[in-house]
Amino acid sequence: MPSAAAPRPGTEEIPVEVVSDEEMAFIDAALAAAAAAAAAGARPLLSSAARRTAAPLSCAAYSAAGSAGGDIEDSPLPRRSLLARFRERRALAVTDITATEWCEKQMEFVLEHGKPERTEAMKAGSDRHAQLEQEVVERVDVAIRSVEELWAVKFMNFIIGTNQLMFEGITRELPVIGVVEGSWMIGIIDEIRMPMDSISSQPILVDTKTRVRPTFPSEAQKRNGRLQLMCYKHLWDTLIAKKFPAENFFSYFDLDPNYLLSDDIKQYISSLGFSAKTFEDVLNYFNVTCQALPLSQELLLLRYELQADHSLLEEYQFTYDSRWFKDQIQEVLNFWQGSREPKFATEEERWKCSFCKFASKCPMIASMSRC
């Protein structure tokens, strides 16, 4: 059963994630809930006519057709893009973006063959994030019956999390969503802090990474972390500075704004101090909350901890670079939209291949072994 926000004894009411820390787990749970609802004879999310009119924002296909002069019968069918095949009616996760930047070929392998088994180091990193989350939030079970209710709880978690930020100076595991370069994207901000001094009233976004060995991260790892935090800043600032594209949101994700919330969800929302009957009521609270929040700082913070004892190895501050960020996102989207074939790790970063579970299947490794 999905979990949602609950107050900790002696503290303000604070949010917790609907599902795990993995961004895509939320969407997977939503699809499972929709399938279960359909199997039980529940109301369809949208009519087939509405689905036909709700065209995805980004759904390009691979350019695999033959030459213009050939017969159409001789031309192979165009290969659908990875975005259309694996994220249709779903948002790209920030982790999709960073995994693609790390190695596009590895990302393609993951999509085609599934994620490899998680390593002990990966499990330890997830456990550490869960521990940090539990310092400020507590999970409770909430019965959720539809995709609309999953999103409703997600929006309420954002509302309560930002209230905690403004009143207590910190929040963790905050969900954000928005459109980036024409594609829907979701993410979960690791940590947001309000500055302790009175110089700035803008929050700073923080992400904590754990390391197995007491060594400093490589430039490739830092670059990947910079991209992740810049994604979060872009999503946060867009929510604050621009009107949330509600109609596009409803149509793209096949959601009914007039969906009547269940008694369990209404009771949960009421326990947080709000009153809502429909999904759109919750979205209206979300919009009002966004309009009252400040933009985030230009400075972003990456923290690196040792897994063994959580000691701090390094704190790395850097400045948001809008031009660099846009170039990186466009490059990643070119891959997802099928504008080109996936790239391999550069020669300078081939060390990544020694950690890749798909190395034995990689054509680049095969070609190198023949040389």
Burial of 328-362, coded b for 16+ CB within 10 Å and e otherwise, reads: bbeebbebbbbeeeeebbeeeeeebbeebebeeeb
What is the rounded average pLDDT of the residues 79-84?
91
pLDDT given for residue 29 in this prediction:
46
Q: Which of 110-124, 142-156, 330-344 has the lowest mean pLDDT?
A: 110-124
CATH class of 82-343+351-361: alpha beta
Average pLDDT, the chain: 81
- CA-to-CA distance for 71 and 65, rounded, in angstroms? 11
* pLDDT on residue 33: 44
Least confident range from 77-91, 132-146, 172-186, 240-254: namely 132-146
Dist. CA 370–CA 356, nearest whole Å: 19
Q: What is the pLDDT of residue 42?
A: 35
pLDDT at 210: 93
Label residue 169 left, alpha or beta by phi (over 0 means left) and psi (-120 to 50 means alpha).
Answer: left
Q: Is the pLDDT confidence value at 351 over 50? A: yes
Q: Where are the domains of the chain?
A: 82-343+351-361
State pLDDT tens for residues 166-204.
999 999 999 999 999 999 999 999 999 998 776 788 999
Q: pLDDT-based confidence at 274, cuts 50/70/90?
A: very high
pTM: 0.77
**What pLDDT is stored for residue 46 in this prediction?**
30
Of 66, 137, 118, 105, nearest to 358 by C-alpha is 105
Q: What does the pLDDT read at residue 134? A: 66
Measured in whole angstroms, the distance separating CA 45 from the mean position of its chain's CA atoms is: 23
Question: Is the pLDDT score of 99 beyond 50?
Answer: yes
The DSSP letter of residue 343 is P
* 28-42, 115-129, 159-173: range with lowest mean pLDDT: 28-42
Higher-confidence residue: 142 or 30?
A: 142
Coil, strand, or helix at residue 319?
A: strand
